[in-house]
Amino acid sequence: MIDFHTHTLLSDGVLLPAELLRRYEALGIKILAFADHVDHSNIDWVVPRLVEAVRKLGPHTKVKLIPACELTHIPLDDFKPLAAQARKLGARLVLGHGETVVEPVKPGTNRAAILAGVDILAHPGLIKDEDARLAKEKGVFLEISARAGHSLANGHVARAAEQTGARLVFSTDAHEPGDLCSLEKAGKVLRGAGLTSQAVKRIFLDEKKWVEGIIIRKVKQ
């Protein structure tokens, strides 16, 4: 089980990084990213705190921890500079808060985040096929979300990925204990999006290969 998208009380979650980690240890997670919401107002505070949390907690757990962030409701032109700033501050994974169907995200956010080179476009809602194709070209993953509301468009995202060849990841977008997922539940969410059992297995294998080949190597540097 890998979760690329979780939130702590450093943004709008309710758990400390240490408690979120402990709860996921009990579920048998292997890789966990702390990806709190950031914009201009807090990026220079939140990202270093998550980097420090990973540094302090890492030696005491078998879970591979990744300091990350989610660029949220920012002006379209600011995705690229803020993504660069996040990486400079130590984020090893940058998510873009996509055009979910349950929030008034500015139209064009999906494309702006993809062009900025985020790693994952979170809950991209009713993403256009041309943007899904762009995500494939840019190597940006599209998220299948377990979070209530955001998950309403999972079927559309899965179809767009199938049509365009864009790659998918599963994430919880967890904010509180009840949002955490086991591997079994993750599989059910993916199947519920209309994906076949073979497609689900492929997603899990792609996630593992991607993380072990890129993200974890970067964390060790």
213 secondary structure, DSSP code: I
Give 121's strand partners.
96, 142
Q: What is the pLDDT of residues 125-162, one digit of tens each?
A: 999 999 999 999 999 999 999 999 999 999 999 999 99
pTM of the full predicted structure? 0.96
Tokens of 115: 């062009």
Tokens of 84: 């660069």
Q: Which residue has the tokens 């998950």?
A: 151
Query: Residue 212's pLDDT is what?
Result: 81
Count CA atoms within 13 Å of residue 15 on its CB side: 19
220, pLDDT greater than 70: no
Residue 11 host element (H or E): none
213, pLDDT greater than 80: no
What span, in angstroms and rounded, lies between the C-alpha atoms of 157 and 143? 8
State percent of the chain over pLDDT 70. 96
217, pLDDT greater than 80: no
Number of residues in the chain: 221
Q: Domains of the chain (ranges plus CATH)? A: 2-220 (3.20.20.140)
